[in-house]
Amino acid sequence: MLIAAEVSSQSESLDYNPCLDCKLCVAACPVGAISADGRFDFSACYTHNYREFMGGFTSWVEAIAQSRTPLDYRARVSDSESASMWQSLSFGANYKAAYCMSVCPAGEEVIEPFLNDRRAYLSTVVTPLQEKKETVFVLAHSDAESHVARRFPAKKAKRVSSGLRPRTLRSFLRGLSLTFQRERSKGIDATYHFSFHGAEERQVTIHIHNQALEVDDGHVGTPDIRVAADRDTWLGFVARERNLVWALLRGKIRLRGSPRHLLAFGRCFSS
C-alpha cells in the first residue's frame, strides 16, 4: 500500500482483553449464538445473521423452485423477506442482526453511557432489541430454535436451510464443529468409527461426550457403532439428496451396532 502521508505510529496487537464481561451480547443475541461461558454457535449465527449471503440465497432459490404457484411462494416467503432479498441483490447483502456489536459498550466512544448509568443503558440499548418483533431464521430442531422459543416470545422463529452442503470429506469433517448442537447432544455418550471409501478413503473417530465433540483421524478406542460408507453416498445423505434407507438396502452405507446411535448422531447436527 502506498500513501502520501507520514506514518506517525505502528498499530500493535492488544496486550489485554477489552471485553468488560458484561454479558450484554449474550442477552441480546436472538439465536443464543453466544453463551455465557464463551462458547460460540457458528451455525446459529450464520443461519440468521447471514441469511442474505450465499447460504441463505441458495435456500431462498430452493423455496422459489419448490413453489407451485405465486400463492404457494408467498406462503413460504413473506413480502418483507422478498423485499429484503431484492435489496441485498441490488445493493449488497446485509446482516440480519449483529446485535452483539450493537450493545457492546467496550470502546472509548461508547463506554461512558454504560459506566454512568448501566440500568439506563440496558433499558435504552439492550431491551428494545430483545423485545423487537421480528422473524428469526433457524434450522429445524436446533439449539437456536429452542432458544428463541424460550427467551424471546415476541420473535417468530422460521425454519430455513443453511445452504451448507459439503462436497468433500474434508469440508464435512471441518464443518462438524461448526454445526454441532451442544444442547441437542445432552445425554449422548457414544464413540463412532467411520470408514469412508470410493472417491476418498479415510478412517475417522467421532466421540460425543458431556455435550462436547471430538474428531480424530483413524480409529481410536472402542466404538459403539461402526459406519462404512461410500463417500459420495454419505455426502448426498448429509445434503438430504440421498435416502438413508435406500443407501442401507444398496449397501452404500453399512452399520455394525445399534442404529439408535446413528439417530443420536444426526440429532446433534441440524440441517
Domain residue extents for the chain: 24-159, 169-267
**10 pLDDT tier (thresholds 50, 70, 90):** confident
pLDDT at 1 exceeding the cut of 80: no
**17 pLDDT tier (thresholds 50, 70, 90):** confident
User: What's the CATH class of domain 169-267?
Assistant: alpha beta
Q: What is the pLDDT of residue 109?
A: 83
**Region 129-136 average pLDDT:** 95
**Region 143-166 average pLDDT:** 92
What percent of the chain has pLDDT above 90? Answer: 78
* Half-sphere CA count of 11, side-chain side, radius 13 A: 1
Q: What is the pLDDT of residue 271?
A: 67
Is residue 31 a contact partner of residue 47, using CB atoms and an 8 Å limit?
Answer: yes
Query: Residue 222 CB: number of other CB atoms within 10 A?
Result: 7
Query: Residue 42 CB: number of other CB atoms within 10 A?
Result: 13
What mean pLDDT, rounded, does the chain reach?
A: 93
Q: Between 54 and 155, where is the model more confident?
A: 155
The model's pLDDT over 180-230, given as tens digits with 9 standing for 90+, comes to 999 999 999 999 999 999 999 999 999 999 999 999 999 999 999 999 999
At how many degrees (to 10) do helices 79-91 and 54-66 cross? 130
Q: Give me 133's grid cell.
A: 418483533
Query: Residue 37 CB: number of other CB atoms within 10 A?
Result: 6
The model's pLDDT over 67-121, given as tens digits with 9 standing for 90+, comes to 999 999 999 999 999 999 999 999 988 888 889 999 999 988 889 999 999 999 9
Q: What is the pLDDT of residue 136?
A: 95
Closest CA to 26 of 131, 95, 103, 96: 103
pLDDT at 11 exceeding the cut of 90: no
**Region 245-271 average pLDDT:** 93
**Region 116-142 average pLDDT:** 95
pLDDT at 167 exceeding the cut of 70: yes
Q: What is the pLDDT of residue 140?
A: 93
Is residue 196 a contact partner of residue 231, using CB atoms and an 8 Å limit?
Answer: yes
Contacts 24+ apart (CB under 8 A), 5-14: none
What percent of the chain has pLDDT above 70? Answer: 100
Q: What is the pLDDT of residue 3?
A: 81
Q: Where are the alpha helices (DSSP H) in the chain?
A: 24-28, 42-49, 54-66, 70-76, 79-91, 99-103, 111-116, 118-121, 127-131, 143-151, 169-179, 231-238, 244-249, 259-267
